[in-house]
């Protein structure tokens, strides 16, 4: 699959429908669960600083561009992505197809009660059967019980919503032992589906200002968001040193 190497993390050139088709294809396979991540500029910066995380990201089967910063970076590197393919949007289109095909999902992550509420919404809107739910705050004992529950329920898709990079690390460490076809890292999406956190209005999404909306809503994100200008600066200075396939 064509991709762009952004500071050592390769991002696939896929639109939302293409990503969904690819994931639906994974559901027909047997073997180790596929990993799907949707990196934004923050996590690419984390990967730039942390070689182990960079390897984890690149080991995934599909990596799509979550965020306008990643699209701009691809333009700077002369391998322009057509559009962003944000995790939340991929999930919504995926649920639509899964509902029609009778596929099941397991929701893992977020605070207690959120996954269940998100699950009701997923079932109501798209008719997807929710095989199971678990919150994202666990010790070793609870984690073992969650893995056993996933393996008993055998969901087609496992959504892991622990925030980045925790979810990518968790998927990478566990996917070989999980009875599912696809593990997808989806950050705060369950909070949005549960109605706990509102997504930015369309105006902000379309103008590439979703980050600004989120900053106004949650000013404590400022520390994390300082990675955005750092990301742009690093891509401009160092981006061309990374080989393009
Ligand atoms: N979370 C979790 N376990 C943890 C830390 C975080 O389940 O140990 C959840 C948190 O409740 C939230 C999500 O992970 O639902 C992270 O959301 P955030 O918006 O910070 O992630 P992003 O989408 O920006 O990666």
pLDDT digits (tens, 9 = 90+) for 105-137: 999 999 999 999 999 999 999 999 999 999 999
**Mean pLDDT over all residues of the chain?**
95
Q: Is the CB of 80 under 6 A from ligand 1?
A: no
Tell me how far the alpha carbon of residue 228 lies from the centroid of ligand 1, in angstroms: 19
Q: Is the CB of 49 under 6 A from ligand 1?
A: no
34-37/182-185 β-pairing:
parallel
Which two tokens mark 35?
A: 């990993």
Ligand 1 atom with the smallest distance to the CA of 190 is: 15
Lowest pLDDT segment from 57-71, 74-88, 158-172, 218-232: 218-232
The whole-number average pLDDT for the span 214-222 is: 83
Model confidence, pTM = 0.93
Q: Is the CB of 164 under 6 A from ligand 1?
A: yes
Which residue's CA lies nearest to atom 20 of ligand 1? 163
Tens digits of residue pLDDT in 12-61: 999 999 999 999 999 999 999 999 999 999 999 999 999 999 999 999 99
Instruction: Select from 199, 195, 197, 188 the least CA-distant residue to 117.
Output: 195
Q: Is the CB of 39 under 6 A from ligand 1?
A: no
Q: Do 233 and 72 contact (CB within 8 A), yes or no? A: no
Tell me how far the alpha carbon of residue 55 lies from the centroid of ligand 1, in angstroms: 22
Mutate to test the pocket of ligand 1, among 143, 165, 171, 188 (most ligand atoms within 8 A of CB): 188
């Amino acid at each position: 699959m064509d991709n762009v190497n952004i500071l050592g993390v390769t991002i696939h050139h896929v639109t939302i429908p293409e990503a969904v088709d690819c994931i639906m294809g994974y559901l027909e396979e047997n073997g180790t669960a596929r990993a799907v991540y949707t990196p934004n500029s923050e996590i690419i910066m984390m990967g730039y600083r942390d070689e182990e995380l960079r390897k984890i990201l690149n080991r995934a089967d599909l990596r799509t561009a979550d965020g306008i910063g990643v699209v701009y970076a691809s333009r700077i590197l002369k391998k322009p992505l057509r559009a962003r393919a944000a995790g939340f949007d991929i999930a919504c289109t995926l649920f639509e197809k899964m509902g029609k095909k009778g596929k099941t999902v397991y929701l893992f992550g977020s605070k207690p009660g959120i996954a269940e509420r998100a699950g009701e919404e997923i079932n109501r809107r798209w008719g997807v059967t929710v095989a199971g739910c678990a919150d994202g705050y666990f010790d070793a004992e609870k984690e073992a019980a969650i893995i056993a529950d996933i393996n008993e329920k055998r969901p087609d898709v496992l959504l892991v919503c622990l925030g980045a990079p925790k979810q990518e690390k968790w998927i990478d460490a566990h996917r070989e032992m999980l009875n599912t076809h696809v593990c997808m890292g989806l950050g705060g999406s369950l909070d949005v589906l549960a109605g706990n956190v509102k997504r930015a209005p369309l105006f902000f999404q379309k103008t590439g200002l979703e980050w600004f909306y989120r900053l106004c809503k949650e000013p404590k994100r400022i520390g994390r968001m300082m990675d955005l200008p750092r990301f742009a600066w690093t891509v401009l200075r160092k981006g061309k040193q990374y080989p393009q396939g």
